[in-house]
Structure 1
Amino acid sequence: MSAALETVLYTAKTHTVGGRTGTGKSSDGELDVKFSSPGSGKPGTNPEQLFALGYSACFIGAIQVAAGKMKIKLPEETSVDAEVDLGKTGAGDFQLAVRLNVNFPGLEERVKRELAEAAHEMCPYSRMTRGHVSVDLKVL
Protein backbone atom coordinates (compact mmCIF):
# COMPACT_ATOMS: atom_id res chain seq x y z
CA MET A 1 0.00 0.00 0.00
CA SER A 2 1.40 3.38 -0.94
CA ALA A 3 1.30 6.49 1.21
CA ALA A 4 -0.87 9.27 -0.19
CA LEU A 5 0.70 12.70 -0.61
CA GLU A 6 -0.76 15.38 1.63
CA THR A 7 1.30 18.16 0.05
CA VAL A 8 2.88 18.27 -3.40
CA LEU A 9 6.21 20.09 -3.24
CA TYR A 10 7.17 19.80 -6.91
CA THR A 11 5.94 18.12 -10.08
CA ALA A 12 8.41 17.12 -12.79
CA LYS A 13 6.81 17.22 -16.23
CA THR A 14 8.38 15.57 -19.25
CA HIS A 15 7.45 14.60 -22.79
CA THR A 16 8.99 11.54 -24.47
CA VAL A 17 8.61 10.28 -28.03
CA GLY A 18 10.02 7.05 -29.45
CA GLY A 19 10.86 5.22 -26.22
CA ARG A 20 14.40 3.87 -25.90
CA THR A 21 15.42 5.21 -29.32
CA GLY A 22 13.59 8.53 -29.16
CA THR A 23 13.90 11.85 -27.38
CA GLY A 24 12.66 13.38 -24.17
CA LYS A 25 12.51 16.84 -22.68
CA SER A 26 11.31 18.56 -19.55
CA SER A 27 8.54 21.15 -19.68
CA ASP A 28 10.95 23.86 -18.44
CA GLY A 29 13.51 23.10 -21.18
CA GLU A 30 16.30 22.32 -18.70
CA LEU A 31 16.52 18.69 -19.77
CA ASP A 32 16.57 17.66 -23.43
CA VAL A 33 17.93 14.20 -24.18
CA LYS A 34 18.29 11.72 -27.00
CA PHE A 35 17.81 8.08 -26.03
CA SER A 36 19.64 5.02 -27.29
CA SER A 37 19.40 1.40 -26.23
CA PRO A 38 22.07 0.26 -23.75
CA GLY A 39 25.03 -1.28 -25.54
CA SER A 40 23.96 -0.02 -28.96
CA GLY A 41 26.97 2.30 -29.31
CA LYS A 42 24.66 5.01 -30.64
CA PRO A 43 24.69 8.52 -29.15
CA GLY A 44 22.27 9.12 -26.31
CA THR A 45 21.46 8.15 -22.78
CA ASN A 46 19.06 5.54 -21.44
CA PRO A 47 16.46 5.33 -18.67
CA GLU A 48 18.80 3.31 -16.44
CA GLN A 49 21.47 6.05 -16.52
CA LEU A 50 18.87 8.72 -15.77
CA PHE A 51 17.48 6.65 -12.89
CA ALA A 52 21.00 6.13 -11.49
CA LEU A 53 21.70 9.88 -11.59
CA GLY A 54 18.36 10.76 -10.04
CA TYR A 55 18.68 8.16 -7.29
CA SER A 56 22.24 9.16 -6.38
CA ALA A 57 21.40 12.88 -6.29
CA CYS A 58 18.30 12.24 -4.17
CA PHE A 59 20.26 9.93 -1.85
CA ILE A 60 22.90 12.61 -1.24
CA GLY A 61 20.08 15.02 -0.41
CA ALA A 62 18.78 12.52 2.15
CA ILE A 63 22.31 12.15 3.56
CA GLN A 64 22.48 15.93 3.97
CA VAL A 65 19.17 15.98 5.84
CA ALA A 66 20.27 13.07 8.06
CA ALA A 67 23.62 14.76 8.78
CA GLY A 68 21.82 17.96 9.76
CA LYS A 69 19.54 16.08 12.16
CA MET A 70 22.52 14.23 13.64
CA LYS A 71 24.62 17.43 13.79
CA ILE A 72 27.38 15.88 11.67
CA LYS A 73 29.48 17.97 9.29
CA LEU A 74 29.61 16.15 5.97
CA PRO A 75 32.85 16.08 4.01
CA GLU A 76 32.53 18.12 0.78
CA GLU A 77 33.69 15.04 -1.14
CA THR A 78 30.72 12.95 0.03
CA SER A 79 29.58 11.02 -3.03
CA VAL A 80 27.32 8.25 -4.24
CA ASP A 81 28.17 6.02 -7.19
CA ALA A 82 24.98 4.35 -8.40
CA GLU A 83 24.85 1.28 -10.60
CA VAL A 84 21.52 0.24 -12.10
CA ASP A 85 21.25 -3.18 -13.71
CA LEU A 86 18.56 -3.98 -16.27
CA GLY A 87 17.94 -7.70 -16.43
CA LYS A 88 15.34 -10.43 -16.52
CA THR A 89 13.84 -12.48 -13.72
CA GLY A 90 13.51 -16.26 -13.81
CA ALA A 91 9.99 -15.71 -15.14
CA GLY A 92 11.39 -13.66 -18.03
CA ASP A 93 10.14 -10.28 -16.79
CA PHE A 94 12.35 -7.19 -17.10
CA GLN A 95 13.57 -5.95 -13.72
CA LEU A 96 16.03 -3.46 -12.24
CA ALA A 97 18.60 -3.96 -9.48
CA VAL A 98 20.55 -1.14 -7.82
CA ARG A 99 23.86 -0.78 -6.05
CA LEU A 100 24.63 2.43 -4.14
CA ASN A 101 28.27 2.91 -3.19
CA VAL A 102 28.40 5.73 -0.63
CA ASN A 103 31.67 7.47 0.20
CA PHE A 104 32.14 9.67 3.28
CA PRO A 105 35.89 10.45 3.29
CA GLY A 106 37.28 11.02 6.77
CA LEU A 107 34.27 9.99 8.86
CA GLU A 108 34.29 7.15 11.40
CA GLU A 109 32.89 3.82 10.18
CA ARG A 110 30.02 3.89 12.72
CA VAL A 111 29.01 7.41 11.65
CA LYS A 112 29.19 6.46 7.96
CA ARG A 113 26.88 3.49 8.50
CA GLU A 114 24.40 5.51 10.60
CA LEU A 115 24.21 8.26 7.97
CA ALA A 116 23.76 5.81 5.10
CA GLU A 117 21.05 3.85 6.92
CA ALA A 118 19.19 7.03 7.94
CA ALA A 119 19.35 8.31 4.35
CA HIS A 120 18.10 4.96 3.03
CA GLU A 121 15.06 5.19 5.31
CA MET A 122 14.07 8.71 4.20
CA CYS A 123 15.18 8.96 0.54
CA PRO A 124 12.08 8.96 -1.71
CA TYR A 125 13.84 6.73 -4.26
CA SER A 126 14.72 4.20 -1.55
CA ARG A 127 11.16 4.29 -0.25
CA MET A 128 9.80 3.83 -3.79
CA THR A 129 12.01 0.82 -4.56
CA ARG A 130 11.67 -0.89 -1.14
CA GLY A 131 10.07 -4.28 -1.61
CA HIS A 132 10.14 -3.95 -5.40
CA VAL A 133 13.77 -3.52 -6.45
CA SER A 134 16.89 -5.04 -4.93
CA VAL A 135 19.04 -2.20 -3.53
CA ASP A 136 22.51 -3.09 -2.26
CA LEU A 137 23.79 -0.27 -0.04
CA LYS A 138 27.56 -0.28 0.42
CA VAL A 139 29.43 2.22 2.58
CA LEU A 140 33.00 2.76 1.40
Structure 2
Amino acid sequence: MKIFYKTRATATGGRSGHTDLDDGSLGFDLVSFQEMDKEGVNPEQLFAMGYAACFDSALNLTAQQMKLPITASKTSTQVGIGMKADGSYNLDIDLYIEVSGIDEAQAQTLIEAAHQVCPYSNATRGNVDARLHVTVV
Protein backbone atom coordinates (compact mmCIF):
# COMPACT_ATOMS: atom_id res chain seq x y z
CA MET A 1 0.00 0.00 0.00
CA LYS A 2 1.24 3.47 -0.87
CA ILE A 3 0.97 5.66 2.25
CA PHE A 4 -0.13 9.26 1.58
CA TYR A 5 -0.13 10.55 5.14
CA LYS A 6 0.44 9.47 8.73
CA THR A 7 -0.29 11.21 11.99
CA ARG A 8 0.38 10.18 15.53
CA ALA A 9 -1.49 10.81 18.76
CA THR A 10 -0.59 9.90 22.31
CA ALA A 11 -3.00 9.27 25.17
CA THR A 12 -2.27 9.08 28.88
CA GLY A 13 -4.73 8.03 31.54
CA GLY A 14 -6.99 6.08 29.19
CA ARG A 15 -10.60 7.17 28.82
CA SER A 16 -10.31 9.57 31.76
CA GLY A 17 -6.99 11.09 30.74
CA HIS A 18 -5.71 13.30 27.96
CA THR A 19 -4.84 12.87 24.30
CA ASP A 20 -2.77 15.07 22.00
CA LEU A 21 -1.56 14.98 18.47
CA ASP A 22 2.18 14.57 18.70
CA ASP A 23 2.70 17.70 16.56
CA GLY A 24 0.97 19.74 19.29
CA SER A 25 -1.78 21.05 17.01
CA LEU A 26 -4.73 19.54 18.90
CA GLY A 27 -5.43 17.98 22.28
CA PHE A 28 -8.37 16.96 24.44
CA ASP A 29 -9.12 16.07 28.01
CA LEU A 30 -10.97 12.77 27.91
CA VAL A 31 -13.95 11.48 29.84
CA SER A 32 -15.50 8.05 29.62
CA PHE A 33 -19.06 7.73 28.41
CA GLN A 34 -20.05 7.09 32.05
CA GLU A 35 -18.61 10.53 33.00
CA MET A 36 -20.31 12.72 30.38
CA ASP A 37 -21.27 15.26 33.05
CA LYS A 38 -17.57 16.20 33.29
CA GLU A 39 -15.70 18.55 30.92
CA GLY A 40 -14.09 16.69 28.01
CA VAL A 41 -14.78 14.39 25.09
CA ASN A 42 -14.75 10.64 24.71
CA PRO A 43 -13.06 8.47 22.09
CA GLU A 44 -16.39 7.58 20.46
CA GLN A 45 -17.09 11.27 19.84
CA LEU A 46 -13.67 11.75 18.26
CA PHE A 47 -14.17 8.64 16.11
CA ALA A 48 -17.61 9.88 15.01
CA MET A 49 -16.14 13.21 13.92
CA GLY A 50 -13.37 11.57 11.92
CA TYR A 51 -15.67 9.02 10.30
CA ALA A 52 -18.21 11.70 9.31
CA ALA A 53 -15.53 13.84 7.67
CA CYS A 54 -13.88 10.90 5.94
CA PHE A 55 -17.14 9.45 4.62
CA ASP A 56 -18.33 12.82 3.32
CA SER A 57 -15.03 13.21 1.44
CA ALA A 58 -15.34 9.69 0.04
CA LEU A 59 -18.92 10.46 -0.99
CA ASN A 60 -17.90 13.57 -2.91
CA LEU A 61 -14.96 11.84 -4.57
CA THR A 62 -17.15 8.89 -5.56
CA ALA A 63 -19.88 11.18 -6.91
CA GLN A 64 -17.29 12.92 -9.07
CA GLN A 65 -15.92 9.59 -10.33
CA MET A 66 -19.46 8.36 -11.07
CA LYS A 67 -20.29 11.70 -12.75
CA LEU A 68 -23.26 12.24 -10.44
CA PRO A 69 -24.21 15.92 -10.18
CA ILE A 70 -24.63 16.23 -6.43
CA THR A 71 -25.03 19.83 -5.33
CA ALA A 72 -24.54 19.28 -1.58
CA SER A 73 -23.85 16.55 0.94
CA LYS A 74 -23.81 16.17 4.70
CA THR A 75 -22.74 13.13 6.70
CA SER A 76 -23.52 12.58 10.37
CA THR A 77 -22.09 9.58 12.17
CA GLN A 78 -23.56 8.14 15.35
CA VAL A 79 -21.16 5.89 17.27
CA GLY A 80 -22.20 3.73 20.18
CA ILE A 81 -20.20 1.39 22.37
CA GLY A 82 -21.49 -1.79 23.91
CA MET A 83 -20.59 -5.21 25.19
CA LYS A 84 -20.77 -8.31 23.04
CA ALA A 85 -22.01 -11.67 24.31
CA ASP A 86 -18.42 -12.84 24.89
CA GLY A 87 -17.73 -9.88 27.22
CA SER A 88 -15.61 -7.88 24.78
CA TYR A 89 -16.50 -4.33 23.79
CA ASN A 90 -17.37 -3.18 20.30
CA LEU A 91 -18.65 -0.15 18.45
CA ASP A 92 -22.00 0.30 16.73
CA ILE A 93 -22.27 2.79 13.88
CA ASP A 94 -25.02 4.56 11.96
CA LEU A 95 -24.12 6.88 9.08
CA TYR A 96 -26.78 9.42 8.11
CA ILE A 97 -26.08 10.90 4.69
CA GLU A 98 -27.96 13.75 3.02
CA VAL A 99 -27.40 14.48 -0.66
CA SER A 100 -28.90 16.97 -3.08
CA GLY A 101 -29.03 17.01 -6.86
CA ILE A 102 -29.71 13.33 -7.54
CA ASP A 103 -32.63 10.96 -7.09
CA GLU A 104 -33.14 8.33 -4.37
CA ALA A 105 -31.86 5.38 -6.45
CA GLN A 106 -28.71 7.27 -7.47
CA ALA A 107 -28.15 8.33 -3.85
CA GLN A 108 -28.40 4.75 -2.61
CA THR A 109 -25.94 3.55 -5.27
CA LEU A 110 -23.62 6.44 -4.42
CA ILE A 111 -23.50 5.83 -0.66
CA GLU A 112 -22.91 2.11 -1.15
CA ALA A 113 -20.01 2.90 -3.51
CA ALA A 114 -18.61 5.52 -1.12
CA HIS A 115 -18.79 2.93 1.68
CA GLN A 116 -16.35 0.81 -0.35
CA VAL A 117 -13.96 3.78 -0.79
CA CYS A 118 -13.95 5.34 2.70
CA PRO A 119 -10.90 4.30 4.78
CA TYR A 120 -12.97 4.27 8.00
CA SER A 121 -15.54 1.98 6.38
CA ASN A 122 -12.77 -0.28 5.13
CA ALA A 123 -11.14 -0.35 8.57
CA THR A 124 -14.36 -1.33 10.35
CA ARG A 125 -15.96 -3.61 7.74
CA GLY A 126 -16.56 -7.08 9.15
CA ASN A 127 -15.80 -5.94 12.70
CA VAL A 128 -18.46 -3.33 13.44
CA ASP A 129 -22.13 -3.09 12.56
CA ALA A 130 -22.38 -0.01 10.33
CA ARG A 131 -25.72 0.97 8.85
CA LEU A 132 -26.12 3.50 6.03
CA HIS A 133 -29.13 5.83 5.94
CA VAL A 134 -29.63 8.16 3.00
CA THR A 135 -31.93 11.13 2.56
CA VAL A 136 -32.29 13.12 -0.65
CA VAL A 137 -32.96 16.79 0.05
Q: TM-score, normalised by structure 1?
A: 0.90
Paired with 1:63 and 1:52, the residues of 2 have a C-alpha distance of 16
For the aligned residues, what is the CA RMSD? Answer: 1.2
2:68 corresponds to which residue?
72
Distance across 1 between alignment mates of 2:47 and 2:65: 27
Counterpart-to-counterpart distance in 2, 1:59 and 1:79: 9
Q: How many residues align?
A: 134
Cα distance in 2 for residues equivalent to 1:63 and 1:98:
17
Higher mean alpha-carbon deviation, 80-89 vs 21-30, is at 21-30
CA apart distance, 1:122: 0.8
1:32 aligns to 2:27 (yes or no)? yes
Partner Cα distance (1:103, 1:20) in 2 = 32
SS of the counterpart of 1:104? Answer: strand
Q: Which residue of 2 aligns with 1:62?
A: 58
Identity of aligned residues (%): 37
Which of 89, 97, 114 is the aligned partner of 1:94?
89
The equivalent of 1:9 in structure 2 is: 4
Which of the numbers 8, 12, 18 marks the counterpart of 1:23? 18
Residue 113 of structure 1 aligns with an amino acid whose one-letter code is Q
Counterpart Cα distance in 2 of 1:48 and 1:75 = 30
| Secondary structure at 1:67 match in 2 | helix
Distance in 2 between residues matched to 1:50 and 1:72, nearest whole Å: 30
Name structure 2 gaps, 5 residues minimum: none
What does residue 38 of structure 2 align with?
42
Structure 1 stretches of 4+ moved >3 Å: none
Unpaired stretches in structure 1, ≥5 consecutive residues: none
Q: Structure 1's 74 and 39: CA in aligned 2 closer, same or farther, altered over 3 A? A: farther
Q: Please state how far the C-alpha of 1:106 moved relative to its aligned partner.
A: 4.4
Question: Residue in 2 aligned with 1:83?
Answer: 78
- Partners of 2:7 and 2:46 lie apart in 1 by 14
CA distance in 2, matches of 1:15, 1:52: 19
Greater strand proportion: 2
Distance (Å, rounded) in 1 between the aligned partners of 2:102 and 2:63: 12
